[in-house]
Structure 1
Amino acid sequence: MHSTTSTVDGPRTLGDQTWQNQAACHTSPSGDPDLFFPEPDEMDRIRAAKTLCARCPVRRTCLDAALENGDRDGIRGGLTQEERDALHSKLAQRLDYARINTVLAGGDVHLSRAERRAVARDAYQAQIPADQLARLLKITKEHAQKLYRTAAREIRNRNTKPRTKSPRTAKAAPIAATKAPARTDLGTAA
């Protein structure tokens, strides 16, 4: 299996560009920077750049950096600008628990909105003081307290929400109603 992540443990820290020294485009003897900025109809150059990216040990880090920095030009992380467009629009919803754990351990990494909410929720559940959350997320203590109130409300609502079948599940049920057998092993995990 070919690794597409940096050899450094966890996500890159904010402002860290040292991963570029490991990039295949940087270490390749034929590393022509123009290769990564082809015109949309230059299919041979696009294929050549993607082939080089496929062998890159920091391909995922390169893609993350392009998305986090809003870089829409050229081929980055093995994807053309058109291929990255959908990822750019979904970046705010990215939920990577490696990033969340890195921040909770004191690391300084780029977080999406969803990841910031998850950090606040996890910190709240771990009873991390609001001033420490403020330092982790580089926000004011008042903002951290607001995030904790939101996390408490989300957790409370999640635990009190009545469980209902989704419409798709309800449609998939057999026409003849049959009672499901009682389960006595619900507390066990595989």
Structure 2
Amino acid sequence: MSWWSAAHCRGTDIETFFPPPGDQAAVQRALTICGLCPVRIPCRRYALRHRERYGIWGGLTEGTRDTLIRIGPRSGPSSG
């Protein structure tokens, strides 16, 4: 996790990224931090690869990650 040292969430209370269910304001706070982060893509990849079930990682909520994992990798447009 070499990207971790450049993450904007470093030093932020970890609970920020594990908001209570239904607390959309808390979710938005975490997503705002992720949205400004220079390493959001490596963080996102880490969370998807390791199937992180909880929290907000790389600007993705639990539900979004679950959907991306379920649909799996997408191939490019067909040339057909």
TM-score, normalized by length of structure 2? Answer: 0.85
Report 1:51-130 matches (<5 A): 51-91=32-72, 93-94=73-74
Alignment partner, residue 6 of structure 2: 22
Cα distance in 2 for residues equivalent to 1:94 and 1:55: 26
Q: Which has the higher contact order (CA 8 A, sep 6+)?
A: 2
How many residue pairs align between the two structures?
77
Which consecutive residues of structure 1, in runs of 5 or more, have no partner in the other structure? 1-16, 97-165, 167-190
Which consecutive residues of structure 2, in runs of 5 or more, have no partner in the other structure? none
Cα distance in 1 for residues equivalent to 2:75 and 2:50: 17
State the identity as a percent: 38
Which protein has the larger Cα radius of gyration, Structure 1 or Structure 2?
1
Cα distance in 2 for residues equivalent to 1:66 and 1:94: 18
Superposed CA RMSD in Å reads 2.0
Amino acid across the alignment from 1:70:
R
Amino acid across the alignment from 1:72:
R
